[in-house]
Chains A and B, each alone.
Chain A
């Protein structure tokens, strides 16, 4: 069966420090991968998605970047964090292909920027 792992679960970082959140999927190949952000008490905003290694699409201009160095690995990064980067970050995946639709989410990473 497929599983998705996301870490770290909680992170407290000072303004201006770098960020790296990692997500990996097991039990499948060539998944579509997504990073969403959820601000406190609000809905989910799609940040990045990837349909293959090295293929990253950005949905909104921001202080963050994403990379997919391996088929089942998706990394969210920042060189210098801003206060506004605080939030709950969710990685998700679904099978590649035209018929795929259901997203499966990781447990999330709570980022607090001080």
Chain B
């Protein structure tokens, strides 16, 4: 089974600065999807960004971008100009065959003012 590893249980960033959250995954597939979800204190899961493995260009969504390294099976999330509202738990996820998502353990992001 595929696995997703987030090696940083917690991260902190100063407001307005940049932070990168790490994610690695294990798969033998060549075509798949990767996601970052955000879970604020309300616990609502919110899609932040997604990446299709066959696309070489890294996905970006406003202040959020990814560094997708397919050969290394690495999928990190960069948050630029961090805001207090970015404080949340962030989950990396891999889409398995059959539309199931496998999630990493999560990284708690704290934003300091």
Contact = CB atoms under 8 A, between A and B. Distances in A.
Nearest to A98: B99
B105 A43 contact: yes
Interface centre among A43, A51, A90 (most CB of B within 10 A): A43
A86 interface: no
Interface in B30-62: 33, 35, 42-45, 47, 50
A34 interface: yes
Contact of B95 (A34, A44, A101, A108): A101
Question: Which of under 10, 10 to 19, 20 to 34, or 35 or more describes the interface residues of B?
Answer: 10 to 19
Interface string A70-114: 000000000000000000101010100000111111011010000
B25 interface: no
Contacts of B75: none
A49 B44 contact: no
Nearest to B35: A102
Given A90-B45, A102-B47, A102-B50, A43 B106 contact: yes
Given A42-B105, A42-B106, A105 B44 contact: yes
Interface centre among B35, B47, B99 (most CB of A within 10 A): B99
A46 interface: yes
A24 interface: no
A104 B91 CA distance: 14
B45 A101 contact: no
A86 B33 CA distance: 31
Interface of A: 32, 34, 36, 38, 42-44, 46, 49, 51, 59, 88, 90, 92, 94, 100-105, 107-108, 110
13 contacts: A38-B43, A44-B101, A44-B103, A46-B101, A46-B102, A90-B45, A101-B50, A101-B95, A102-B47, A104-B47, A105-B45, A107-B43, A108-B44
Interface of B: 33, 35, 42-45, 47, 50, 91, 95, 98-106
